Structure 1
Amino acid sequence: MTLIQGKIRIIGGQWRSRLLTFPEHPDLRPTSDRIRETVFNWLEQDLSGLRCLDLFAGSGALGFEAASRGAAQVVMVDNDARVYKALKENKEKLQAMQVELLLMNALSFMKSDARKFDVIFLDPPYRLDLLPGLMPLLPPHLEQNGLVYSESRGIWNLDEQWKIHRGAKAGTVRYQLLELAHYG
């Protein structure tokens, strides 16, 4: 069996124009250049010193983009061994020492890891409808004034603890930066 690989380009920062490769997988749909450009504009381009979590890393587009733009630490979590292998190869190719890769289930990570992050990228496989169950797990992992990027197909209802900081739509993809309505 031949492994078909996809490619996506980093669009900004120190690794601008570098290509990332990733395996063909039915749940893997990298965030488009246009959406990434918008999201990183919302995040003010420079993520110097920030800690980021890419919870469903997939192609690595969001996590490596954050690292390229100066994030001090990027934790990338994925539970697929082939995807993890590709992430590891991309990390080595870029010499991305600030990137930590974890081969594990996203829910298990959220329940077992106590770290806090400034930005959490949340782009799970659409077919699994994981966002409603994941959102309540995020607040203990979010730094004061931290943001959550979420991407979904269509509309889903946020509970009252979240408010939309910025949001947009591209085709059927709805993407937004969320913040906690109240920090406790």
Structure 2
Amino acid sequence: MSPPRKPRRAAPAGASQLRIIGGLWRGRKLSFLPADGLRPTTDRVRETLFNWLAPMIHDARCLDLFSGSGALGLEALSRGATHCDFVDTNGANLRHISSHLDTLGASDRGHCHNRAATDFLAASPSRWDIVFIDPPFGRELAAPVLTQLADGHLAAQAQVYLECARQEALPTVAPGWTLHREKTAGNVRYLLYHTP
């Protein structure tokens, strides 16, 4: 039985919206404020990604790095993930995600961390089953994070999702990681890796 939902809050002036597309909160619309580099994963890409992840999402511990609007982590929780850590350097983004978790009755299933992704990983002893990496494009932020994840932050047979600009060179991943799926949508290239 899901916890009672709190009343929906009015969207702030100038806010954009994202929609949860599957699971417990399917159809819920959540607001976020536009920010530099903030580019929520589109419905089309999220639908494809979570079809790929369907066999692994239930009870998974997730990490949403460069979480922005929180679209990926919130979608994961809606579809049955046990927990998600949201990591971003923008405090306003994280306040919105925290508010969404509260509104959805899921504040005990998500934690927000106002830190750079590399700093968060350096300080955290945790391991995750599914990691979402969707940094602002063109800033070469994914490579150091991928290196850190491979150094003891992944559960056995974890899944690592990477979203980048179509024309960007892909960063190197650790030995033993296999590319499970890859697609493009417009200017976006998105990939899912299986790890040992």
Normalised to the residue count of structure 2, the TM-score between the two structures is 0.87
Task: Name stretches of at least 5 consecutive residues in structure 1 with no aligned partner.
Answer: none
Counterparts of 1:35 and 1:172, CA distance in 2? 12
Is residue 140 of structure 2 the alignment partner of residue 126 of structure 1? no
Residue in structure 2 matched with residue 116 of structure 1 by the alignment:
127
Alignment match, 1:100:
111
1:68-83 equivalent positions in 2, closer than 5 A: 68-83=78-93
CA distance in 1: counterparts of 2:49 and 2:110, whole angstroms? 20
How much has 1:3 moved relative to structure 2?
Answer: 5.4
Deviations 1:74-96 (A, max 9, x none): 11111111111111111111111
- Summarize deviations over 1:141-161 as a string: whole Å, max 9, x none: 111110100000024143452
SS of the residue corresponding to residue 31 of structure 2 reads strand
The structure-2 alpha-carbon separation of the partners of 1:80 and 1:3, relative to structure 1 and needing over 3 Å to count, comes to farther
Offset from partner CA, 1:108-147 (integer Å, 9 cap, x none): 0011101000000000111321112221111211111101
Large movers: runs of 4+ above 2 Å: 157-160
Structure 1 residue corresponding to 2:180, chosen from 165, 168, 179: 165
Mean Cα displacement is larger for which, 160-169 or 91-100? 160-169
Aligned-partner residue type, residue 194 of structure 2: E
- The residue that corresponds to 2:170 in the other structure is 156
Q: 1:156 to 1:111 in 2, by over 3 A?
A: same
Shift in Å, 1:179: 2.2
Aligned pairs (5 A) from 1:50-89: 50-89=60-99
Instruction: State the one-letter code of the partner of 1:147.
Output: Q
CA contact (8 A) 1:3 1:24 kept: no
Change (3 A) 1:157 1:99: closer
Counting matched residue pairs gives 180
| Structure 1 residues 13 and 121, CA gap change in structure 2 (3 angstroms) | same
- Partners of 1:22 and 1:5 in 2: CA distance: 5
Which amino acid is the alignment partner of residue 178 of structure 2? Answer: K
- Note closer, same or farther for the CA distance 1:159–1:72 as it changes in structure 2 (3 Å cut): closer
Alpha carbons of structure 1 residues 163 and 45: separation in structure 2 relative to 1, 3 Å: closer
Write the distance in 2 (CA, Å) between the matches of 1:114 and 1:168.
Answer: 32
Q: Secondary structure at the match of 1:128?
A: coil
Structure holding more helix per residue: 1
* Secondary structure, aligned partner of 1:71: coil
Q: Which of the numbers 21, 26, 35 marks the counterpart of 2:36?
A: 26
RMSD of aligned C-alpha atoms? Answer: 1.6
C-alpha distance 70-152 of structure 1, shift in aligned 2 (>3 A): same
Cross-structure match for 1:144: 156
Separation in 2 of the partners of 1:57 and 1:119? 14
Give the deviation of 1:4 after TM superposition: 2.1
TM-aligned CA deviation for residue 46 of structure 1:
6.5
Percent of pairs identical after alignment? 38
